[in-house]
Amino acid sequence: MNFADSASAMKNLLGSEGDSQRTLYPYVTGTSVVAIKYKDGILIAADMGGSYGSTLRYKTVERLKPVGKHSVIGASGEISDFQEIMRYLDELILYDNMWDDGNSLGPKEVHNYLTRVMYNRRNKFNPLWNSLVLGGVKNGQKYLGTVSMIGVQYEDSHVATGFGNHLARPILRDEWHENLTYEEGVKLLEKCMRVLLYRDRSAVNKLQIAKITEEGFTISQPYSLKTFWDFAAFKNPTVGAEGSW
């Protein structure tokens, strides 16, 4: 009897039966985002895939977007929630511009705003199903932070979302150092994205890299990485043992 009571109480707590307005599971998702600080600013990389469950449905999804004058946001997770977040941010930047006071929201401020939005949605049991990366430069100060769908936020010299945490962070912990040049930074990011392409099933070989410096931002045109599949064991795995697998 106790179980039935607590079950119905829980249902009331979470909204009525016909309430299908809360995000329960993600549908169209983007995979990892990887970002690093380098000498002149921030570099963020993300591929352009939008998966619908286990199908790679959309292959030209822009997951890196500029925010105001000083920052770029990268998102993984539910794409529709990312589009909603962009609407919130557009409104935020618009109101900031309307003040016309010569000041503009920097990456630290935008990151804080996103953290509050994500955490408050999580408290209402209606999260925005995203892991976000926010990077930017303002007044010479480089800033790189991340927020998850439950509102966990932190700031670091290199961040990643999703699978990037398991596959890219170990490489970055070993090989990142202060004062990477632009070329070294891009090479390092491409190394991480290549490993993700090999080992993450929802990755696609079409990526963009965004660069933010004091001067402004550029988001590259989409391009693909070179891959290597010519290992002898891949070509002939059963040499010496015919009939096995």
Enumerate the active-site residues. 23
CA triple 111-141-134, angle to 5 deg: 25
Using the rule CB under 8 A, give the single segment among 38-46, 126-134, 149-157, 193-201 that binds other proteins.
193-201
Q: Which of 199, 216, 220, 224 binds other proteins (CB under 8 A)?
A: 199
Identify whether the C-beta of residue 166 lies closer than 8 Å to the C-beta of residue 199. no
Task: Say how far apart CA 203 and CA 226 lie, in whole Å.
Answer: 14
8 binds other proteins (CB under 8 A): no
Using the rule CB under 8 A, give the single segment among 43-51, 97-105, 112-120, 233-241 that binds other proteins.
233-241
122 binds other proteins (CB under 8 A): no
- The number of residues that bind other proteins (CB under 8 A) is 26
CA triple 165-169-170, angle to 5 deg: 120
Identify whether the C-beta of residue 23 lies closer than 8 Å to the C-beta of residue 79. no
Identify whether the C-beta of residue 76 lies closer than 8 Å to the C-beta of residue 35. no
Amino acid residing at 188 = L
177 binds other proteins (CB under 8 A): no
Amino acid residing at 8 = S
Tell me, residue by residue from 123 to 162, as one string, x for binding to other proteins by CB under 8 A and - for no binding: ----------------------------------------
Residues forming the site for other proteins (CB under 8 A): 163, 166-171, 173-174, 191-192, 194-195, 198-199, 231-234, 237-241, 244-245
